[in-house]
Structure 1
Amino acid sequence: MRTVMLDGRSLTTEALLSIAEGRANVECAPDALERVRVARATVEGIISRGEVVYGINTGFGALVNTRIDASDLERLQLNLIRSHATAVGTPMTNQEVRAMMAVRLNSLLAGHSGVHEDPLRQIEALLNHAITPIVPRLGSLGASGDLAPLSHVALALIGEGDVNHDGVSKPAKEALTECGLVPCKLRAKDGLSLINGTSQMTSLLALASERLHALLPLADAVLCMSLEARRCTVRPFEPQVHAVRPHAGQQHVAARVMRLMEGSANLADHADCERVQDAYSFRCSPQVHGVTYERATALASVVGIELNAVTDNPLVFPDPSNPGPHEVVSQGNFHGEILGQTADAMSLALFEQASMSERRMDQLLDPARSGGRPFLARQSGLESGLMIVHYVAGASLSELHGHVMPRSAFSTVTSGGQEDHVSMGATACMNLMLAIDRFTEVLAAELLIAAEAAEDLSIPMSESMTYLHRMVRRDVAPLTTDRSTAEDLRVLAQRLGDRRWCSEFAGSSSLMPKA
Structure 2
Amino acid sequence: MAVVINGKDLTVEEVIRVCRGMEEVSISPDAEKRVNKARAYIDKKLDEGAIIYGLTTGFGKFANVFIDRDETTALQHNLIISHTCGMGEPYEQKYVRAAMLLRCNALSRGNSGIRFSTIQTMVDMLNAGIHPQIPCKGSLGASGDLAPLSFIALGLIGLGNVEYKGQIMPAAEAMEKEGIRPVELAAKEGLALNNGTQMMTAVGVNVLWDAMHLMKVADLAAAMTAEALHGITKAYDPKVHELRGHKGQIESAENLRTLLKGSKNAMRVQNTKVQDPYTLRCVPQIHGASRDAIEYVYDAVSREINAVTDNPIVFPDDDDVISGGNFHGQPMALAFDFLKIAVSELADVSERRAERMINPSLSEGLPGFLTLHAGVCSGFMIAQYAAASMVSENKIYDHPACVDSIPSSGNQEDHVSMGTTSARTAAMVLDNAEKVLGIEIATAAQAIWLREKIGESKISNLAPATKAAYEYIRTKSDPIDQDVIMHDELVKFDEMIKDNSLLEVVEKEVTLK
TM-score (norm 1): 0.96
Equivalent position of 2:213 in the other structure: 214
User: AA paired with 1:364?
Assistant: M
- Secondary structure of the corresponding residue to residue 88 of structure 2: strand
Residue 347 of structure 1 deviates from its aligned partner by: 1.4
Is the contact made by 2:337 and 2:400 (CA closer than 8 Å) also made in structure 1? yes
Partners of 2:282 and 2:178 in 1: CA distance: 57
Q: Match of 1:262, as an amino acid? A: K
Q: In structure 2, what is the equivalent of residue 245 of structure 1?
A: 244
Q: CA deviation at 1:255?
A: 1.1
AA at the equivalent of 2:190 = G
| CA deviations over 1:191-232 (Å, ceiling 9, x no partner) | 000000110011111111111122210111010000110001
Q: Which moved more, 1:197-206 or 1:16-25?
A: 16-25
Match runs of 1:43-82 below 5 Å: 43-82=42-81
Report what 2:312 is aligned to. Answer: 314
- 2:175 corresponds in structure 1 to 176
Out of 419, 423, 429, the position equivalent to 1:425 is 419
Aligned residues: 505
Question: Is it true that 1:281 corresponds to 2:274 in the alignment?
Answer: no
Residue from 293, 296, 302 that aligns with 2:291? 293
Distance 1:272 1:492, change over 3 A: closer
Going from structure 1 to structure 2, the CA distance change for 1:22 and 1:498 (only over 3 Å counts) comes to closer
Matching of residue 489 in structure 1 with residue 487 in structure 2: no
Q: Check conservation: 1:205, 1:343, Cα contact below 8 A.
A: yes
Q: Which residue of 2 aligns with 1:348?
A: 341
Runs (5+) with no aligned partner, structure 2: none
Alpha-carbon distance in 2 for matches of 1:334, 1:217: 34
Indicate if the aligned counterparts of 2:472 and 2:505 stay in contact, CA closer than 8 A. no
1:21 deviates by 2.1
- Match of 1:266, SS? coil
1:361 and 2:354 aligned = yes
2: CA distance between counterparts of 1:233 and 1:170? 59
Encode CA deviations 1:310-330: one digit per residue, 9 max, x unaligned.
Answer: 1011101112xx74xxx1011
1:39-438 superposed matches below 5 A: 39-268=38-267, 271=269, 273-319=271-317, 323=319, 327-370=320-363, 371-438=365-432
Render the CA deviation track for 1:349-368: whole Å, top value 9, x for unaligned.
22222221111111111222
Question: CA–CA distance in 2 between the matches of 1:196 and 1:267?
Answer: 54
**How far 1:271 sits from its partner (Å)?**
3.5
Structure 2 SS opposite 1:242: helix
Quick one: which of 439, 445, 448 aligns to 2:439? 445
Unaligned stretches of 5+ residues in structure 1: none
CA contact (8 A) 1:215 1:502 kept: no
1:498 aligns with 2:506: no
Q: Is residue 233–residue 266 contact of structure 1 (8 Å, CA) maintained in 2?
A: no
Question: What is the identity percentage for the equivalent residue pairs of Structure 1 and Structure 2?
Answer: 36
Please tell me whether the aligned partners of residues 466 and 506 of structure 2 are also in contact (alpha carbons under 8 angstroms). Answer: no
Match of 1:31 in 2: 30
> What SS does the corresponding residue of 1:201 show, helix, strand or coil?
helix
Cα distance, 1:376 vs. partner?
0.7
Q: CA deviation at 1:166?
A: 2.1
- How has the CA–CA distance of structure 1 residues 67 and 191 changed in structure 2, closer, same or farther, with 3 Å as cutoff? same
Q: Distance in 2 between matches of 1:504 and 1:22?
A: 21
Q: CA offset at residue 272 of structure 1? A: 5.7
The DSSP-based 3-state class of the residue aligned with 1:367 is coil
Alpha-carbon distance in structure 1 between the residues aligned to 2:138 and 2:269? 59
Runs of 4+ in 1 over 6 A off after TM superposition: none
Q: Secondary structure at the match of 1:132?
A: strand
- Displacement after TM superposition at 1:500 (Å): 4.2
